[in-house]
Every structure is written in C-alpha cells, then in structure tokens.
Amino acid sequence: MDFELIERLMRMLEQSDLNELDVTEGGMRVRLAKQRTGGAVVADAAVEPTPQAPDIAENPGQTIKAGMAGAFYRAPSPGAAPFVEIGTLVREGDPLGIIEAMKMFNPVEAESDGIVVAIHVADGGSVEPGMALFDIEPA
C-alpha cells in the first residue's frame, strides 16, 4: 500500500471543492471524505481490498446491476447480518441488498435462482445506474 499516494490524495481533497474522492488501483480501494467538526475540515480515509472481477468465461450467470444512483447497503440495518454472502443460494425475488436514494430504501432482488459468486460493491459504497452489484451463477 502506497501511504505517500494516500497522503497526496488527502491533501488534494482538502484543497479542493470536492467532498469525497474514491480511487481504485492495484486491487485496493481508497475512499476519502471530508467531515466538518466544529468548523474544521477533517479528511476521513477508508482503505479496503477490492473484489477481483470474475472472468466472464467463469461466470455464465447473471450480473445484477444498480437501477439507480445512491448508497448501497448489504444488510437490512446497521449491525445486522448481510442479506447474502458469496456462496449463498438465492431464489428469484430474494433480497440481496438495499439502495438508499433520496431517503428512500429500494430493495435489490435476485432476478433468478442461483448462487452468489461475486459482490462488487462494499457496504455503504456509492453506486450509479448500471453499475454491477452481484454476479449470480445458475445453481
């Protein structure tokens, strides 16, 4: 992990008008966000490994994509167990996650029966329409 790069990104964020910066490089994801505490701006950093995208030939199944922009959550509430993990057997209509958009919680459901083989977005991550969320392989 390149700590100098993270420090440079933090300085860039502090000096810019941006409120959030999300960078993925070399299998690692760095998310920086500005937080206001008593008038001062503090950069908050999160570093996490990014899941490796499966080879298309390995996944003849289906990719579940975000239908809207918002915040993606893997569990029904903070501290609760995620709806699914890699290896979970799902049926059509089973809940996979939630996208919060404009204070509305929109369910993400399995579109067919199968096994979850990949989860592409971290809990609390930002999603855009068409962004891959899950890969489901036929059971």
Domain ranges of the chain: 3-49, 56-137
Q: What is the pLDDT of residues 55-98, one digit of tens each?
A: 444 446 899 999 999 999 999 998 899 999 999 999 999 999 99
Distance of CA 117 to the CA centre of its chain: 15
Mention every residue, 6+ apart, whose C-beta is less than 8 A from residue 85.
116, 119
pTM above 0.75, yes or no: no
Q: What is the pLDDT of residues 38-50, one digit of tens each?
A: 554 455 555 556 5
CATH-assigned architecture of domain 56-137: Beta Barrel (2.40)
